[in-house]
Amino acid sequence: MYLAKILITLRKSILDPQGKAVRHALQSLKLSGIEEVRIGKFIEIKISSKNKKEAEKIAEEACKKLLANPVMENYTFSIEELPA
Amino acid sequence: MKSSVVKFGIVVFPGSNCDYDCFYVLKKILKQEVRFLWHKHSSIEDVDVIVLPGGFSYGDYLRCGAIARFSPIMKSVIEFAGKGGTVLGICNGFQILCESGLLPGALLRNKSLKFICDYVNIRVENNKTIYTSAYKQGEVLKIPIAHGDGNYFADDDTIKMLEDNGQVLFRYCEPDGRVTPNANPNGAVNNIAGIINESGSIMGMMPHPERASDAVLRHTDGRRLFESIINERLLKCLET
């Protein structure tokens, strides 16, 4: 069994009003040095497959076909093997 | 198709909530033949026009329209669209069309982060389509919007293509027709409220014409959108 940890982020060119609102809230906490906040999604998927390479292929396809929309989002993921 | 009426199919997803509004306008006001198409069915039967109604299909989970796009009925809708079939997406329906790749671009979160339910003014940018032929070019319509994710976005090349080809059908504007940042409710690029595909058969828009079609509700600017579709279909029928 493998665990895919998928990170979906808004593309750089896309404004992130949610991140901006959170940045304002953080700044109002008087936390110093906060300059930018971008909000994305984190998705975990358990995949049973023959090997890591195949799990990677499946995660890649899941991202491409459904989890991320290339018009506005980028994705990255890592795959780790779960103890049996 | 009988010569006097058009057969509309309204797709019903779990979470659709404007399906009955569309049904009411098309059936009771415009006297057309209308049926619901359940999202789990794989056939669109013999309808002439498909409407993807507004709502919150699949709870807007993941992204608005992202999951609806993979429901069984959408396979037939995409096939129908591919053959030049007439497909209208309103609000969530527009989001589904973008997620399906039937229309370019995407609908992002409103710039204000607020869900906006209000009347807006939109200007008819191109009346030479099957969706807008009953309007005058440049006419200003008063039609409600109700969305949290209506901020139309596409990359610069796509926007240029849409603009150059006259694929932008509606733009948010002031009551006098001026297109200003102030009249833009959600941050959409170039105040875009509705677009059509290159061949002119698939249209998506954020405002709700079905909510402005019954005189009881005082505003009827949306009705001519449906009348345009009906007239164009019937004309086409007479020609062939």
Which domain does B48 fall in, by range?
7-239
* pLDDT tens profile B69-117: 999 999 999 999 999 999 999 999 999 999 999 999 999 999 999 999 9
CATH number of the structural domain spanning residue B112: 3.40.50.880
- Do B63 and A69 count as a contact with CB atoms less than 8 A apart? yes
Residue B1 scores a pLDDT above 80:
no
Of A13, A18, A66, the CB nearest to B109: A18
In a domain, A21, yes or no: no
Closest Cα to residue B93, out of B61, B127, B73, B68?
Answer: B68
Phi-psi domain of B173 (left: phi exceeds 0; alpha: psi -120 through 50; beta: other) = beta
Question: Predicted confidence band at B237 (pLDDT cuts at 50, 70, 90)?
Answer: confident
CB count, 10 Å around CB of B30? Answer: 18
Count of the separate structural domains present in chain B: 1
pLDDT of residue A19: 93
List B64, B91, B98, B173, catalytic entry = B91
Residue B226 lies in a domain: yes
> CB–CB of B122/B141 below 8 Å?
yes
Yes or no, beta carbons of B66 and A17 under 8 Å apart: no
Q: Distance from CA of residue B118 to its chain's centroid?
A: 17
Give me the pLDDT at residue B72, please. 96
Cα gap B85→B143, rounded to integer Å: 26
* HSE-up (13 A, CA, CB side) for residue B116: 22
**Measured between CA atoms, how close is A72 to chain B, in angstroms?**
7
First to last CA, chain A: 7
**Yes or no, beta carbons of B111 and A72 under 8 Å apart:** no
List, for residues A8-67, the tens digit of each pLDDT value: 999 998 989 899 999 999 999 988 899 999 999 999 999 999 999 999 999 999 999 999
Q: What is the pLDDT of residue B168?
A: 98
Active site residue B91: yes
Q: Is residue B1 part of a domain?
A: no
Percent of chain B surpassing pLDDT 70: 99
Task: Suggest the residue from A6, A42, A65, A72 to mutate for an interface test with chain B (most B CBs closer than 10 A).
Answer: A72
Residue B24 has pLDDT above 60, yes or no: yes
Q: Would you call B208 a catalytic residue per the annotation?
A: yes
What token pair was written down for A33? 């040095």
Name the strands in the sheet holding B116-124, side by side, starting at the edge strand that comes first in the sequence.
B33-38, B7-12, B49-52, B86-90, B202-205, B192-196, B168-173, B116-124, B140-147
Domain-embedded: residue B168: yes
**Bridge partners, B152 (sequence order):** B107
Q: Tell whether A34 is covered by a domain.
A: no
Rounded Cα distance, B14 and B68, in Å: 9
- Residue B112 within any structural domain of the chain: yes
Residue A73 within a domain: yes
Query: Best residue in A69, A73, A75 to probe B by mutation, most B CBs within 10 Å?
Result: A69
Give residue B127's pLDDT.
97
**Which residues does B contribute to its contact with A (CB < 8 Å)?**
62-63, 66-67, 70, 98-99, 105-106, 108-113, 153-155, 187
What is the arithmetic mean of pLDDT over B220-229?
98
Flag whether A49 is in a domain. yes
Q: What's the pLDDT band for B3 if we cut at 50, 70, 90? A: low
Confidence of residue B206 (pLDDT cuts 50, 70, 90): very high
Cross-chain residue pair A66–B66, CB shorter than 8 Å: yes
| Subunit contact B110:A71, Cβ cutoff 8 A | no
- A66 interfacial to chain B (CB closer than 8 Å): yes
Task: Quote the tokens at residue B4.
Answer: 């006097």
**Interstrand relation of B192-196 and B202-205 (parallel, antiparallel or unpaired):** antiparallel
Our CA-based measurement puts residue A84 at a distance from the nearest CA of chain B, in whole angstroms, of 30
Instruction: Note whether residue A22 is domain-resident.
Output: no
Of A14, A21, A67, the CB nearest to B108: A14
ipTM exceeding 0.90, yes/no: no
Could you tell me if residue A8 is inside a domain? yes
Residue A16 near residue A10, CB atoms below 8 Å: yes
Domain at A68, CATH number? 3.30.1280.10
What is the structure's pLDDT at A32? 86
A35 within some domain: no
Structural domain includes residue B2: no
> A84 falls in which pLDDT band (50, 70, 90)?
confident
**pLDDT at residue B76, rounded to an integer:** 97
The whole-angstrom separation of Cα A24 and Cα A29 is: 9
User: Is residue B131 within 8 Å of residue B51, measured between CB atoms?
Assistant: no
| Distances B174 to B115, B142, B151 between C-alpha atoms, Å | 20, 10, 18
- CA of B177, closest CA in chain A: separation in Å? 27
The question of whether B227 is a catalytic residue gets the answer no
Question: Using a CB-CB distance cutoff of 8 angstroms, which residues of chain B are in contact with residue A17?
Answer: 109-113, 187
Is A31 an interface residue toward B (CB < 8 Å)? no
- The tens digit of pLDDT for each residue in B135-165 reads 999 999 999 999 999 999 999 999 999 999 9
CB pairs under 8 A between A and B: 33
A74 belongs to a structural domain: yes
Q: Domain of A8?
A: 2-14+40-81
- What is the number of domains present in chain A? 1
